[in-house]
Structure 1
Amino acid sequence: MTFGLTFEKLLLIGLIAVLIIGPERLPRAAESFARLVRKAGEYLRDTKSRMREEMGPELDDVDWRKLDPRQYDPRRIIRDALFEEPQPTTPAAVAATIAEPAAPRTAPPVFDAQNRPPFDSEAT
C-alpha cells in the first residue's frame, strides 16, 4: 500500500514541509513525526498480537486471499461460467442420480392451542 507515492513525490512533500515549517522548527517536527510513526507501529504490532491471542493458532491457518471480496467480481464469474467447457455426462452418472432414493419427507408439525410451538427466550 504505497498510495501512489513515488520517491519524487515524497521528496517534493519533504521540500514543501521544509519551506512551510522552516529550518528552526524542522527538527522538532521530524522528532514528533518519528514518534508518531513509532507509536503507529507499536499499535499495529499490539493489535496483531492481541488478534493472535484471541483467535488462537487458527489465525495462521486462514487463507486470507480466499476471503478477498475483490475476487467475487460478478463480471468475471459470469465470463468464467460462459467460457467454461461443459462437463460430459455419461449415461451411468445420469442413471445413478435418478436411481438414488429420495429421503422420506416428514410433515411439518401442526401447532394449535393444545400443541404450542417451543418458546425461544433468545429470540428478539
Structure 2
Amino acid sequence: MVDWFTALPLWGQIGVGLLVIAAFVAVIWMLLSLVLLPVIALIQKALEPSENSTVMPDQDYLLGTLTLGLDGVHTGEVMITGGGRARQTYPAKPYESQTTPLAKGAQVVIIEVKQGTAYVKALVLPGA
C-alpha cells in the first residue's frame, strides 16, 4: 500500500491525503454527534425551568367584571371575561387591603384564584 501511495505524483499524494483527512473528520463528527447531541438535549431539559421569565405576557392576564360590588368588608362576585376562557363567576375579595370600594360593573384584574375565591385589583389602563 505504501508503494502505491509513493508511486503517485505529488499532487496525487496531496489529494489522497486531503481525502483521508476529510473522511477522518467526517467520522469523528458523526461519532461526536451521536454522543454529544443526547447529552446536550439532557442539559437543555435540565436547564429549561431556569429560563422562565418573571414578566407575564398580556394574554395570560385574567380580566373580569364585578357582578356584585366589592369593599374591604363584603365579598363581591367577579365574572371572568378575558384570557380566552369561558365565562365563569367566582366570589371576589380584594387582593390587598383596599379601602376604596369597587362598584358593580368595574373592570378588574384577577391576580389569583385560591380555594374558589378570586383575589382582584382594579384595572388601571395607561393614560386613564
Larger Rg: 1 or 2? 2
TM-score under structure 1 length normalisation: 0.30
Q: Bigger relative contact order, structure 1 or 2, given CA contacts below 8 A and separation 6+?
A: 2
Report the structure, 1 or 2, having the larger strand content.
2
TM-score under structure 2 length normalisation: 0.29
Report the structure, 1 or 2, having the larger helix content.
1
